[in-house]
Amino acid sequence: MPDSFGIQEETRGSAVLLRVRGRLDARSAPHLLEVGSRVRMRGRNLVLDLSGVTFMASSGLGSLLSLAEEFRQTDFRLRIASPSAAVTSVIQLLNLQPFLSIDASEEEALHALGV
Amino acid sequence: MIGRGERIIGIRWIVTFVAVGLTTAVVLSVGTVAERNARRALTAELTSRLLLEARNLALTSSGVLLSDFPELTLHPLIKEKLARQPELSYAVVVDRAGIIQGHADPHRLGTPFEEPVGLRALMDGPPRSAGETLRRNDRELVASVPITHPSGKRLGHVVVAMRTSYVDAVLERARRQQSLILAISLLIGIAVSFLVLSHVLRPVATLREGIRRIAGGDLETPVRVSDGTELGLLANAINDMAAGLKKAQMEMVERERLVREMELAREIQDSILPSERIVEGPFVIEGSQRAAAEVGGDYYDYFLLPDGRIGFAVADVSGKGVAGCLIMTMLYALLRADRATASSPAALLASLDERLGETLRRGSFVTMFYGILDVRTGRLVYASAGHNPTLIYRHASRSVETLRSRGIPLGAIRGGAIRGTLEDLTITLEPGDAVLQFTDGISEAFEASGQEQFGHERMSATLRDTAPRGPRAVIDGFFERLTAWTGGGARLDDETILVLHRDPAHVPAPLESEPVGNGCGSPLPTREPDPGDSATAIARYDEARRRGSRVVLTGTSDVLDTIRGWLAGTPVLDALPARERDLLTSTLYEVCANVAEHGYARDPGREYEVWWVPAPGPAEGARSPRARAAAGTASERLRQGWFLVRDEGVPFSANEWKGQDFDDPRVRRRGRGLGLEIIHRTMRRIVYYPSTAVGNVTWMCFGGSPSPEEASHAG
């Protein structure tokens, strides 16, 4: 089922790459927040590949925002890679691009992190 | 209290020092007397010995003096005596002519005897015979005894001297021994008295330590002194005191806990009483409560029912305190659960009786009034379960009527006996009329002297005087007069008052404040509909039912799948460009998720509906591509129609949305409240009508407004 939520984790040098797929809603957002916070606590940079997100609810967006703020308060960085149209439309609607570092692809995001 | 830094002089030491001083004084006094006596006895003994030596020598000499050469016998005799007794300084035998006949020194024999100088007679001493003398000077003690022939003839005399230095040495030795004994006695006395006192006074230190512990807050460890003296009693008294302190402390903690619980109960009570008046058509309903010092069981409530009528209740729970407050809270919950389904006030009270009866303790009961007002007709249907009568102010006659009913209190008799006593009564409220309900904290308030209650007459008069000025004036008037009546002391009971007033000058507003079928395509109306104007909401809902397409969801529906499926199967919405379809999906998802989560708490048994109502026009309902093309693109048509969501859940305050400031990192970190943000930025206009006769209605027109500022200008 393309809509079912899942996170695939991969380590790329000093960064962790999380490929998120499915619905990012009230049920799955806390999971993403938890996995993301764990990466921050391990002291790694984080790339969130959101190309597989089919729907993003306000709670999903909320988890992205707070995760970004968590990383901003540390020496580590969070970048969003190749967000799907469902993600982009909501981020643009609320003009949140200035607060999220978004790249067109995983490679660009990793490159920006120096990996 | 004795601080750590202050010098402490121990009782043990004080008493020991005093005891030692006394012992020393006694020992010294006794020693002095004993020494004097010993000295006297010793002196007497030595003089007796001296006299005896002299007598012996005299006796020996009496025979020898008559011989031819007495000096030959006496010289060795005396020499040996002196050698044997060194304390004797000399011994001399003198004949009648005063010539020395016996002496230790042979050169002195035959020489005249010269008395030593400075001799003075000794007054005391042993008894002396005739001719015997005892004398002394600074150096010697001298005894002189006559030598007598058995015939009685005097032959001479004997002089024997003893060195006073010897006497002094003997006395000194005796004195030294005595001093040693005294000193040892003194030391033993001091040691014994110190040890005994230490033992006796040891509990003082224990007591001091115990008191210090108590002062430090340790009330658990008792002072252990097993002592038969007053100190033991003191220890027991201290332990009793600590136990008393502990008890008092626990009582204080318990009292504080009760006070906190009471405060909490009071807060709960306050929080469930309505805080604002309801204005519905010509009617205003408002209540107020002045709480007694102790939390009580008074309760009042009013609310809009789903069909647009107003329900209101006043109740008094027998008993006060937390128990009364709990019953009141239960009443609040039960009333809210039953209010929409009960067929009449009497039926509602009967149902409450049944459900409260399971919980109320025997002897506890609740008196309650419940009324339902139809705001369109002014008809008030009410029933009372043993509650105070209702007062009605009639504006036309400026009189007060008293409405009594015969129901018994809730929970008073188990087994549904209440059903036979409850009745629904109906009155009609004309313009200017007012209804007053209250609890007996009002009617039974005693004047300051405790003789008379406020009573029915004063209540009627107060209502008559204040009702023409509206419900607030009635409430203020009552509280003012009650304060004056009771003298403003502490209230013994809650004073609860509820007033329903019909505005005499109210002209009914037209049902529609704007043409309902106008849709969102036309320019904005000059006046936004009043969010409280439920008639507009009902009219819009009616129109949606006539012309719109809907989807029904429950508290547990998969909102996303349902909305997507509905959009895909609904004309116009099925043809939207991807971005608009995504935004619309997001927004409807947020609205529905809000209802399901906050309004219905994910109750699978409760439904709500989402309507899409296209703008009316020649193309409405047309299915042919040409007709649809004539009506404009799907995007254009989306902006001309409107959406309506109707639910029956707990209303929320969506109209108070102010927009989020994402520049604030705290807002971003919180990551909340984004749903309303999405809704308001996607929808051009949103009007929320909570608690209308058909439920909560949300009316929305699509057309993203770029900023919250613009959105708030629009709606």
Q: Give tens-digit pLDDT for B593-649.
A: 989 988 888 888 889 999 999 987 654 444 556 655 666 788 888 988 999 999 988
Report in angstroms the alpha-carbon separations of B453 from B221, B403, B441.
Answer: 56, 20, 10
> Using CA atoms, how far apart are residues B113 and B94, in angstroms rounded to an integer?
7
> Using CA atoms, how far apart are residues B296 and B326, in angstroms rounded to an integer?
10
Q: Which long-range contacts (CB under 8 A, 24 or more apart) does A92-96 make?
A: A93/B583, A93/B586, A93/B678, A93/B681, A93/B682, A93/B704, A94/A61, A94/B662, A94/B674, A94/B677, A94/B678, A94/B681, A95/B662, A96/A61, A96/A65, A96/B662
Q: Which long-range contacts (CB under 8 A, 24 or more apart) does B29-33 make?
A: B30/B182, B31/B178, B31/B179, B31/B182
pLDDT of residue B619: 47
> Using CA atoms, how far apart are residues B162 and B144, in angstroms rounded to an integer?
12
Q: Which of B576, B594, B668, B677 to mutate to test the interface with A (most CBs of A within 10 A)?
A: B668
Q: Please return the burial class of B652, using the count of CB atoms within 10 Å of its CB with bins 0-12, 13-18 and 19+.
A: middle
B200-258 residue pLDDT tens: 777 788 888 888 888 888 888 888 877 777 888 888 888 888 888 889 989 999 999 88
List the one residue out of B601, B610, B563, B662 whose CA is nearest residue A55.
B563
- Could you tell me the two tokens for B356? 């409260």
Q: Which residues of A touch B (CB under 8 A)?
A: 3, 23, 25-26, 55-59, 61-66, 68-70, 72, 85-86, 89-90, 93-96, 99
pLDDT of residue B13: 75
**Cβ within 8 Å, pair A25-B586:** no
> Using CA atoms, how far apart are residues B638 and B635, in angstroms rounded to an integer?
5
Query: In this prediction, what percent of chain B has a pLDDT beyond 90?
Result: 28
Q: Which residues of B touch A (CB under 8 A)?
A: 560, 578-579, 582-583, 585-586, 589-590, 593, 597, 662, 665, 668-672, 674-675, 677-678, 681-682, 704
Identify the DSSP state of B532. T
Q: Would you say residue B56 has pLDDT above 80?
A: yes
Rounded to 5 degrees, what angle do the CA atoms B704, B707, B712 make?
90
Q: How confident is the model at residue B653 (pLDDT cuts 50, 70, 90)?
A: low
Place of tokens 């190749």: A82
Q: Which of B589, B665, B704 is the closest to A57 by Cβ?
A: B589
Residues of B in contact with A69 (CB under 8 A): 665, 668-669
Tell me the whole-structure pTM to 2 decimals: 0.41
**Cβ within 8 Å, pair B662-A57:** no
CB pairs under 8 A between A and B: 72
Q: Which of B669, B670, B678 is the closest to A93 by Cβ?
A: B678
Report in angstroms the alpha-carbon separations of B122 from B49, B126, B133, B134, B278.
Answer: 15, 10, 8, 6, 134
Residues of B in contact with A58 (CB under 8 A): 590, 674-675, 677-678
How far does A63 lie from chain B, in Å, by closest CA? Answer: 6
Residues of B in contact with A65 (CB under 8 A): 668-669, 671, 674
3-state secondary structure B247-264: HHHHHHHHHHHHHHHHHH
Q: Which of B593, B669, B677 is the closest to A57 by Cβ?
A: B593
Please provide the DSSP assignment of B361-418 as one string.
Answer: PTT--EEEEEEEEETTTTEEEEEEESPPPEEEEETTTTEEEEE---BPPBTSSSSSGG
Phi, psi (5° rounding) for residue B633?
-70, 165
**What is the pLDDT of chain B when averaged over all its residues?**
84
Q: Please return the burial class of A6, using the count of CB atoms within 10 Å of its CB with bins 0-12, 13-18 and 19+.
A: exposed
Residues of B in contact with A85 (CB under 8 A): 578-579, 582
Q: Would you say residue B278 has pLDDT above 60?
A: yes
> Using CA atoms, how far apart are residues B551 and B705, in angstroms rounded to an integer?
26
**Cβ within 8 Å, pair A89-B668:** no
**Cβ within 8 Å, pair B671-A72:** no
pLDDT of residue B413: 85
Q: Which residues pair with B371 in a beta bridge?
A: B312, B382
Stated as kind and residue range, the H or E segment containing B134 is strand B133-136
Half-sphere exposure of B307 (CA within 13 A, CB side): 12
> Using CA atoms, how far apart are residues A24 and B675, in angstroms rounded to an integer?
13
Residue B497 near residue B442, CB atoms below 8 Å: yes
How far does A27 lie from chain B, in Å, by closest CA? Answer: 12
> Using CA atoms, how far apart are residues B434 and B436, in angstroms rounded to an integer?
7
Stated as kind and residue range, the H or E segment containing A17 is strand A15-24
Q: Which of B578, B593, B681 is the closest to A26 by Cβ?
A: B593
Rounded to 5 degrees, what angle do the CA atoms B130, B133, B139 make?
170
Average pLDDT over every residue of B272-281: 86
Pairing of strands B298-304, B310-317: antiparallel
**Cβ within 8 Å, pair B669-A69:** yes
Residues of B in contact with A96 (CB under 8 A): 662
**Cβ within 8 Å, pair B560-A25:** yes
Q: Would you say residue B357 has pLDDT above 90?
A: no
Residue A90 near residue A61, CB atoms below 8 Å: yes
Residues of B in contact with A57 (CB under 8 A): 586, 589-590, 593, 675
Q: Which of A64, A93, A96 to mutate to test the interface with B (most CBs of B within 10 A)?
A: A93
Q: Would you say residue B438 has pLDDT above 70?
A: yes
